[in-house]
């Protein structure tokens, strides 16, 4: 199998530096036409210049590929829609969206302003939603689309001082879970990346020796798979230092505690049983959990369910 992207048009947000830059360069090397989007601001989201995006686009063109730089602010839906319209006017379609752009405004929750909380959520969550919304109908009409959202171990597992970032990154998984279902009939596959790499966000925080092991280009092969023809859907891929892992969310079996007679003391007394991982399984959709609980309750109460 040789995965390529000939004839495909990709949009990569935050494509001017770090991980996004590598995603753009490698997509182009494998034949994709690339929109390099980057507001060009600092790590905290302040400032802006299209020069970073244009620089990567020019690098692609010098290498014989096709690319355009774009400085749209992804928190502004009208700017994102204009970016998508520009890509379609030039190349006729949009096949791939890599939601990579992000900012950091780290502080403990007690010291963080709600403006800093909102700004981070706006960029990561609403920025990703804006970009996805702007390409969604095009992908439905094409009966083809590949969308990648970028989460983080901070969102999946937590990291001190990153309540805003962690909340926004955890939201990526919820967005993926729904969009992967809604896009299935139109061959739109939606996946999530949880990367770790030596980018601007980690400057000064990790030793040089570790940084060398965490080069951004070592993450990109996983990204390319998640947006390829061969991509899964509803997958969470961990990636860093040339290593890859699949992240799963599991739920333990239902424990019936008596229905209407159950009390808070019953929950406390049975907590070890409720939280016992034996028999845990992945849940495919929200109603699968509902059905599990109803089936367990019906069995315990001797109720015969119809259908």
Contacts of 68 (CB under 8 A, 6+ apart): 34, 35, 36, 57, 86, 87, 90
* Helix (H/G/I), strand (E/B), else coil: 87: helix
- Residue 215: exposed, middle, or buried by beta-carbon count in 10 A (0-12, 13-18, 19+)? middle
Q: Residue 189: which of 73, 97, 114 has the closest Cα?
A: 97
Token pair, residue 74, equals: 């992804």
Q: Which of 144, 157, 165, 250 is catalytic?
A: 165
| Whether 165 is catalytic | yes
277 burial class (0-12, 13-18, 19+ CB within 10 angstroms)? exposed
Work out the burial of residue 3: count CB atoms within 10 Å of its CB; fewer than 13 is exposed, 13-18 middle, 19 or more buried.
Answer: middle
Distance separating alpha carbons of residues 198 and 103, to the nearest angstrom: 15
Residue with tokens 């983080």: 152
Distance in angstroms (rounded) separating the CA atoms of residues 75 and 122: 6
Q: What residues pair up with 12 in beta bridges, in sequence order?
A: 36, 98
Residues with Cβ within 8 Å of residue 206, at least 6 apart in sequence:
198, 214
Beta pairing partners, 33: 9
Q: Which residues are known to be catalytic?
A: 165
């Amino acid at each position: 199998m040789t995965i390529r992207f000939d004839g495909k048009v990709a949009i990569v947000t935050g494509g001017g530096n770090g991980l996004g830059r590598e995603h753009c360069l490698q997509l182009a090397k494998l034949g994709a036409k690339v929109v390099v989007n980057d507001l060009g601001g600092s790590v905290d989201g302040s400032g802006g210049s299209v020069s970073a995006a244009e620089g990567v686009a020019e690098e692609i063109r010098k290498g014989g590929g096709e690319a355009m730089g774009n400085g749209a602010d992804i928190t502004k839906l009208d700017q994102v829609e204009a970016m998508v319209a520009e890509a379609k006017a030039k190349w006729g379609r949009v096949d791939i969206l890599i939601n990579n752009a992000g900012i950091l405004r780290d502080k403990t929750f007690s010291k963080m302003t709600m403006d800093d909380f909102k700004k981070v959520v706006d960029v990561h969550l609403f920025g990703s939603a804006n970009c996805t919304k702007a390409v969604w109908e095009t992908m439905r009409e094409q009966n083809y689309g590949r969308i990648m959202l970028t989460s983080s171990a901070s969102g999946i597992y937590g990291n001190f001082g990153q309540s805003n970032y962690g909340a926004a990154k955890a939201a990526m998984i919820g967005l993926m879970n729904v969009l992967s279902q809604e896009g299935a009939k139109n061959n739109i596959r939606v996946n999530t990346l949880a990367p770790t790499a030596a980018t601007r966000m980690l400057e000064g925080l990790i030793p040089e020796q570790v940084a060398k092991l965490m080069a951004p280009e070592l993450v990109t092969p996983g990204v390319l798979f998640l947006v390829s023809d061969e991509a899964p859907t509803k997958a969470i891929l961990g990636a860093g230092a040339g290593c890859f892992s699949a992240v799963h969310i599991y739920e333990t079996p239902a424990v019936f505690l008596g229905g209407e007679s159950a009390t808070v003391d019953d929950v406390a007394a049975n907590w070890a049983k409720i939280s016992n991982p034996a028999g845990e399984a992945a849940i495919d959709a929200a109603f699968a959990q509902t059905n599990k609980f109803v089936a367990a309750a019906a069995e315990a109460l001797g109720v015969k369910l119809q259908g």
